[in-house]
Amino acid sequence: MISIPSVNVDDIRTFVTVVEAGSISGASRELHLTQPAVSRRVQRLEEALATQLIDRRRRPLALTDAGRAAVERCRRFLTSVHELKTIADGAQAPSRELRIGVAHALTELALVEPVDDVRRAFPPAVLRLRTGWSRDLLARVKSGALDAAVILLPERDGAPAGVAATALAADELAIVAPRRWPRRLYTMRQLADEPWILNPEGCAARAALEHELARSGRPLRVGVETYTYELQLRLIARGRGLGLVPRRLLARSPTRAKLRTLSVRGVAFPQVIWMIAGELPADLDGPLAAFRDAFRRAAG
């Protein structure tokens, strides 16, 4: 008699999430589990399959040969489970979930109206959203780990290559200071000795600022690192440093009356919001178009 291993759907889903997130810690954030719980689920799947899926000797995360062979089969298995649930519910669902990445700076635009619009127009559709840095999300779309993403890129870069790309809106970063700063034209050298309140490393906006400071012969001085723009703005208003923030977020901030945008000679940070997509099944085109159109309205 052939022995068929007993596997848990949640363990399979966790393994796929670890691969797509690129780390145990990333998967724990997406799944709202502790890192030990994520590790236990992966280990339980390895025990059920009697093979090692992740090479734990390597950093960053790397799959074994068995892991690389298993991950696509695990994705197909999860798609089949989704289809069976849909049949049981009597609805016609897309062939699988729609995996969309959203740049950190755009999450406040993506998590309400676009998701609601997709659910209204395509009730059986399942959206799976993940956040990240724009260039990381672009790489994940190219690799097939994500179906699509909404990202921010400098205007000078143009349309990203290797994917279908649609420009959704123009955006711009502003250098922000406490309100007490005089309204006049500055140079980057005059700002160089100030501490900056910024996103952590990996942020393209931070890299652009560092480049501009380097052009003036000065290093970047980081005072505070935090992902949350509203927290950045509150700290700037209290005089803890300068910041580099999207103008659309500044315009909506309750702290904006305590802040001033600085004009800096020869320096600007125009950006473009792009929707990028790889190849995906035709039955996901409708949900993705609904998400894209709602996002464009929210960004406008």
If asked whether residues 224 and 271 sit together in one domain, one would say: yes
Residues 33 and 61 reside in one and the same domain: yes
**Domain boundary residue, one of 44, 73, 90:** 90
The structure tokens listed for 219 are 């290093």
Domain boundary among 72, 90, 108: 90
Read off the pLDDT of each residue in 26-45 and give the average, rounded to a whole number: 87
Domain limits at 189? Answer: 95-300
- CATH number of residue 104's parent domain: 3.40.190.290
Same domain, 143 and 178: yes
Residue 86's pLDDT is: 54
pLDDT reading at 149 higher than 90: yes
Q: Are residues 118 and 21 in the same domain?
A: no
pLDDT band at 124 (very low <50, low <70, confident <90, very high): confident
In whole angstroms, give the CA distance from residue 40 to residue 288: 34
pLDDT in the model for residue 89:
53
Nearest-10 Cα torsion for 221, 224, 230, 236? -60
Q: Note the pLDDT tens digit of each residue in 170-220.
A: 989 999 999 999 999 999 999 989 999 999 888 888 989 999 999 989 999
| In the predicted structure, residue 132 carries a pLDDT above the cut 70 | yes
**Closest-CA residue to 78 (of 8, 161, 175, 179):** 8
SS3 190: helix
85 and 101 within one domain:
no
- Distance in angstroms (rounded) separating the CA atoms of residues 197 and 281: 42
Tell me which of 32, 59, 90 is where a domain ends: 90
Give the model's pLDDT for residue 95. Answer: 60
Listed in sequence order, the residues at least 6 apart from 57 whose beta carbon sits closer than 8 Å to its beta carbon are none
Are 245 and 125 found together in one domain? yes
Q: Is residue 129 over pLDDT 70?
A: yes
73/102 same-domain check: no
* pLDDT of amino acid 75: 79
Cα angle 91, 97, 100 (rounded to 5 degrees) comes to: 140
Residues 62-72 have pLDDT tens digits of 889 888 888 88
Tell me the average pLDDT across 209-237.
Answer: 92
pLDDT value at residue 1: 38
291/178 same-domain check: yes
> Residue range 36-56: average pLDDT?
89
Residue 27 to residue 2: CA distance in whole angstroms = 34
The enclosing domain of 48 has a CATH number of: 1.10.10.10
Q: What is the pLDDT of residues 70-99, one digit of tens each?
A: 888 887 787 767 656 654 554 455 567 889
Q: Minimal CA–CA distance to 280: which of 11, 21, 70, 75?
A: 75
Q: Are residues 215 and 273 in the same domain?
A: yes
Question: Cα–chain-centroid distance for residue 191?
Answer: 30
pLDDT in tens, 249-266: 899 899 999 999 999 999
The pLDDT value recorded for residue 228 is 86
8 Å CB contact between 288 and 148: yes
Residue 155 or 59, more confident:
155
Give the pLDDT score at 110. Answer: 65
Confidence (pLDDT) at 4? 47
**Do residues 53 and 70 touch, judged by C-beta distance below 8 A?**
yes
Pair 48, 75 in one domain:
yes
Of all residues in the chain, what percent carry a pLDDT higher than 90?
A: 39
Q: How many structural domains are present in the chain?
A: 2
At 231, the pLDDT band (50, 70, 90 cuts) reads very high
Per-residue model confidence (pLDDT) at position 2: 42
Indicate whether 181 and 293 sit together in one domain. Answer: yes
Say if residue 73 is in the same domain as residue 213: no
